[in-house]
Amino acid sequence: MNKLSVFTYRSRLPFFCFLNMTKIHPYCAILLSYSTAMAFKKYLVGSKTKRLTNFINTATFYQMDKYTFFSKIFFYCLLSLATTAQAQYTIATDRPGATFSSQVVPQDIWQVEVGYALEQDEVAGTTTRFERLPNTVLRYGLTDTWELRAEWDYLRNTIETNNTEATDQGAGLLTLGTKFQLLQNKSWWQPRVAFIGAVQLPTFADEAFQPDFTGSYFRFLLMNQITKRTDIFYNLGADFGATAAGAPQLTSAYTLGIGTLIGEQWYVYGEIFGFFPEEEVDRHSFDVGIAYIFKSRYQLDFAIGYSLNEYATDSFINAGFSTYFGQPKQKN
């Protein structure tokens, strides 16, 4: 290998690295990197008056006219942009309502969902305010159909009675779980289906919020795409948790809602949800919410809800922000 060929070979390596870092399509990378290497070669051997001509004449290596050569470069650049656009993942979160999304985070994507939640209840002159500040969920796509997730809250519980106030605050339960994609919806009557399951570990919780056992929950998550802009979603499952007195109990749970896309960035929904505890009275609530999605990877949301019977929490609000990091892998 002569000195000139060594230079040409080495000159391609950093250029390929640059193209890879900037996510340029491989075909475009091959054309541009080789043309650059050939240009450097001709620059070294050519006279000053022929440098520009030599760069353009690189097209003769491909045995095509200059118009075809640059047209192909332009085409591959457009193909690169189109492929990137198709691979773009539009964020889908489990916020801000009670329903878990039936969509799994794509492979190699890290998704973070944070928010503030306030529940307020009044019984016999006693007002209770329960806050999650923040509520944090971290999700990771292990594959395109399987995600791992962790959830943690910092909690504050305030009780007001007869002009006196008592507050407990500290770390909540650490929840570790997973979500599986079971089915994709192929028509309006065939739902997209996923399954979520998690355990709630008391180990790291503050004493005021620490039960004597490890809790858990599971849900089947379903969604029917009625039109291109409207969907119906619902969850069915159960919680293994505690009664108000701290005794363990099994609680069945459900949600049912409808949502629609307004424009390209706004999503509004309404849902009802409830619980059927073994040892306590049923609780049912409803909420409405809105989400603003921008640049495909950011979401701002807000929800407000009220009880449907006297045993559920009187009112609650939820507001938050979500985003993700990484780029979905392109499917062959």
116 shares a domain with 83? no
249 shares a domain with 123? yes
Q: Give me the long-range contacts of 236-245 (CB less than 8 A, separation at least 24).
A: 237/196, 239/215, 239/275, 240/215, 240/216, 241/200, 241/211, 241/215, 241/217, 242/211, 242/213, 242/215, 243/277, 243/279, 243/280, 244/280
Q: Would you say the pTM of this structure is higher than 0.95?
A: no
Q: What is the DSSP letter of 52?
A: H
Containing 198, the helix (H) or strand (E) segment is strand 192-201
pLDDT at 11 over 90: no
pLDDT at 118 over 50: yes
Give the number of other Cβ atoms within 10 Å of residue 290's Cβ. Answer: 16
- CA dihedral angle for residue 6, residue 9, residue 11, residue 14, rounded to 10 degrees: -130
pLDDT at 58 over 90: no
Give tens-digit pLDDT for 281-316.
Answer: 999 999 999 999 999 999 999 999 999 999 999 999
| Per-residue pLDDT at 272 | 98
Stretch 139-143: mean pLDDT? 97
pLDDT at 1 over 90: no
User: Which of 144, 165, 167 minimizes the C-alpha distance to 155?
Assistant: 167
User: Which of 151, 62, 162 minimizes the C-alpha distance to 113?
Assistant: 151
| Per-residue pLDDT at 225 | 95
140 shares a domain with 181? yes
Q: Which of residues 172 and 73 earns the better pLDDT score?
A: 172
Mean pLDDT is lowest, of 81-95, 158-172, 250-264, for 81-95
- Give the range of the structural domain holding residue 253, as residue numbers without chain letter: 110-325
pLDDT at 83 over 90: no
319 shares a domain with 177? yes
Q: Specify if 229 maps to a domain.
A: yes
134 shares a domain with 68? no
Stretch 198-217: mean pLDDT? 91
Stretch 254-261: mean pLDDT? 98
Among 53, 87, 121, the domain boundary falls at 87
Share of the chain above pLDDT 70, in %: 73
| Per-residue pLDDT at 244 | 73
User: Which of 70, 34, 114, 108 minimizes the C-alpha distance to 319?
Assistant: 114
Q: What angle do CA 236, 240, 244 make, to 5 degrees?
A: 115
Give tens-digit pLDDT for 223-242.
Answer: 999 999 999 999 999 999 88
130 shares a domain with 247? yes
219 shares a domain with 125? yes
Q: Specify if 280 maps to a domain.
A: yes
Stretch 258-271: mean pLDDT? 97
CATH number, domain of 212, equals 2.40.160.40
176 shares a domain with 228? yes
127 shares a domain with 82? no
**List of residues 6+ apart from 104 with CB closer than 8 A:** 141, 144, 145, 146, 147, 179, 180, 181, 194
| Per-residue pLDDT at 159 | 95
Stretch 57-78: mean pLDDT? 46
Stretch 188-195: mean pLDDT? 95
143 shares a domain with 63? no
Stretch 174-196: mean pLDDT? 95
179 shares a domain with 138? yes
Decide: 289 and 268 in contact? Cβ < 8 Å.
Answer: yes
44 shares a domain with 180? no
Q: Specify if 34 maps to a domain.
A: yes
Number of domains observed in the structure of the chain: 2
**List of residues 6+ apart from 286 with CB closer than 8 A:** 270, 271, 272, 273, 305, 306, 308
Tokens 């919680």 locate to 239
